[in-house]
Amino acid sequence: MLSFEWQRTVVKAQKQDTTTSGPARAVTPDDKYFQRKARENRTDLPTDPNEATIDARRAAMDKAVEESRAKQPNDISGYSYLASVRNDSGKTIAIVFWEYRFVELARPTNVVRRQFLCSVKVKNGDRVNLTAFSTLGPSDVIDAESLSKTNEKLFDERVQINRIEFSDGTFRQRGNWKLEDVKSSVDRMTSTPWAKEICRAL
């Protein structure tokens, strides 16, 4: 383990595109070859005359109506967790189970573990940043005494590698950690296709 950190973050929602099925735009004299070439050769960047046609204005209004009716997804507030690790195992890593553990200093019995699964290909000697997003923060509850210490460290933080699976089918696992304990979470989390992310929260 080289380094680790966490921070609050916001995942911007992907805006949904709207499509309209209006009539085909009518062909005008401005669509002819010589008129189009004349506009392309001008240096004052004239506007496209087709934008002023009745069909174009209608299509723009239809699109505005569709966009106003479409339900757009909201941004998601959460937390980013990062662990920078180097592979010194002598093998190529394929999967990493890891966790970010928080112990509240004012109340050591308040221990929270955020666990993650990463699908990565890390060759021996290479370094990789394992980055995961979760809507869950460092603690579900926090002592009032800790809240009053806004400028002080609130948690004892530690990152642990729970299990490493290698490309040859072998694995290494931390002694007191069991894959069976998180199997239902793994099945649920891997039931949907992955996008560009390499890690997901368990």
Q: What is the pLDDT of residues 50-80, one digit of tens each?
A: 666 666 667 777 676 676 666 667 788 889 9
Return the pLDDT at 10. Answer: 84
Q: Is pLDDT above 80 for 99?
A: yes
- Please tell me the predicted confidence (pLDDT) of residue 168: 95
Instruction: Give the pLDDT mean for 174-181.
Output: 93
pLDDT in the model for residue 154: 86
Compute the C-alpha angle 54/59/62, nearest 5°: 125
Name the 3-class secondary structure at 59: helix
Question: Is 80 exceeded by the pLDDT of residue 41?
Answer: no
Fold of the domain built from segment(s) 3-10+75-201: Immunoglobulin-like (2.60.40)
Q: Are 166 and 94 in contact (CB under 8 A)?
A: yes
Q: Is 179 helix (H, G, I), strand (E, B) or coil?
A: helix
Structure tokens that stand for 197 in this block: 């992310």
Among 136, 142, 83, which Cα is nearest to 110's? 142
pLDDT digits (tens, 9 = 90+) for 141-150: 665 565 555 6
**What is the side-by-side order of every strand in the sheet holding 199-201?**
171-173, 155-166, 93-104, 111-122, 199-201
| CA distance from start to end of the chain | 20
Q: 63-67, 114-118, 137-141, 188-192 — which is least confidently predicted?
A: 63-67
Q: Where is 14: in which H helix or E strand?
A: none
Has residue 140 got a pLDDT over 90?
A: no
**Segments making up each domain of the chain, as ranges:** 3-10+75-201, 29-69
Q: What is the mean pLDDT of residues 5-12?
A: 86
- Which of 24-28, 36-40, 195-199 ranks highest by mean pLDDT? 195-199
